[in-house]
Amino acid sequence: MNCQRVQDNFIDYQDGTLPPDESAALRTHLASCPTCQREWSALQEITRKLDALPADETPSPRLREQFYAMLETHQRDADAVSPFALARNRIDRFFAALLPSTPALQFAAALTALAVGVFAGARYFHPPAAIPAEVVDNTAKHEQEIAALKAQMKEMGSLVAASLLQQKSTSERMQTVLATMDLKSPDRKVLSDLVGALAFDPSVNVRLSAVEALAQHADDRLVRAGLLSALPRETAPLVQVAMIELLTSIREPDAVPILDRISRDETADKDVRESARRALAVLRAPSPTDTLKNNQPSTPLVS
């Protein structure tokens, strides 16, 4: 018998209702188990204290008198009129005297109150000033940009499920990505599949190959948005460095805040942080084209 079984049978054993074979097993276990011995001693101590309690005494005759006196006090308090009830009765009588009692007069009073409310609203409450057309146009333009961004992110998210359903193994997904490298002018579906593989594929090798495949199409707006969206969530240092170098090569200005956060992240890989710092130095420096334009002499005006 285990300890739990023995302790559960203590009461029956003490009362003598436990079967003989179980009683013998309990005694054998109790003789060699210190834990059950302590529990048995505690039970015996509790039993001894209960047996030592005095027998119930007959209640005092005054107990019945005190009980009925207390009951009478509570009954008297319950029958007393509440001050809140008196105030409510007075309010009800006030409105009963103020408002008409017949339905026709009540309907007329309601119409009068409605007319007063309409007049006061027209007289004292003016509609807000019209929003300038320029503000409306800016708001509409901002909402259109947000809608376009949401549609783009939805497109990027939906491609993953389709890709994983069609390509079961990592090697098959890798072959699909590598096959796109030979395409000079891929359609939007191919670019979307590549961006989805870059952002969501569980294989590091597939994501790294996706970066290489997207490099020759980095001028596309969808590809740039995919790189900017995938870089903050990427955890593989090799893929991070590859994306950082690609964003640097196309001089993507929107990558600066992301790279700045990566360069300051102490939990990021050391090589990734260093790559982000170098990329920031390149992106924050003036481009050779801008330098050439600034150094060109201005055309003199012909008088």
Does this model's pTM top 0.75? My answer is no
What is the distance of C-alpha 203 from the center of its chain?
27
User: In angstroms, rounded to a whole number, what is the distance separating the alpha carbons of residues 8 and 26?
Assistant: 11
Evaluate whether 223 touches 250 at the Cβ level (below 8 Å).
no
Tokens standing for residue 47? 């039993």
Tokens standing for residue 86? 């008196």
Q: What is the DSSP letter of 231?
A: G
User: In angstroms, rounded to a whole number, what is the distance separating the alpha carbons of residues 248 and 78?
Assistant: 84
Q: 10 Å Cβ neighbour count for 250?
A: 13
User: In angstroms, rounded to a whole number, what is the distance separating the alpha carbons of residues 219 and 286?
Assistant: 19
Q: Which amino acid does the sequence have at 115?
A: A
Burial class from Cβ neighbours inside 10 Å (0-12, 13-18, 19+) for residue 262 reads buried
* Residue pLDDT tens, the chain, 303 long: 788 888 888 888 888 888 999 999 989 998 999 988 998 888 888 888 777 766 555 556 666 666 667 767 766 666 665 555 566 666 666 666 666 656 656 666 666 766 667 666 666 665 555 556 665 566 666 566 656 655 655 555 445 444 444 455 777 777 787 787 777 777 788 888 888 888 888 888 888 988 988 888 888 888 889 899 899 989 999 999 999 999 999 999 999 999 999 999 999 999 999 999 999 999 988 766 555 555 555 555 444
**pLDDT tens for each residue of 169-209:** 777 777 787 787 777 777 788 888 888 888 888 888 888 98
- Domains annotated for the chain, with CATH where assigned, are 3-49 (no CATH), 142-285 (1.25.40)
> Residues near 198 by Cβ (< 8 Å), separated by ≥ 6?
207, 210, 211, 214, 226, 227, 230, 243
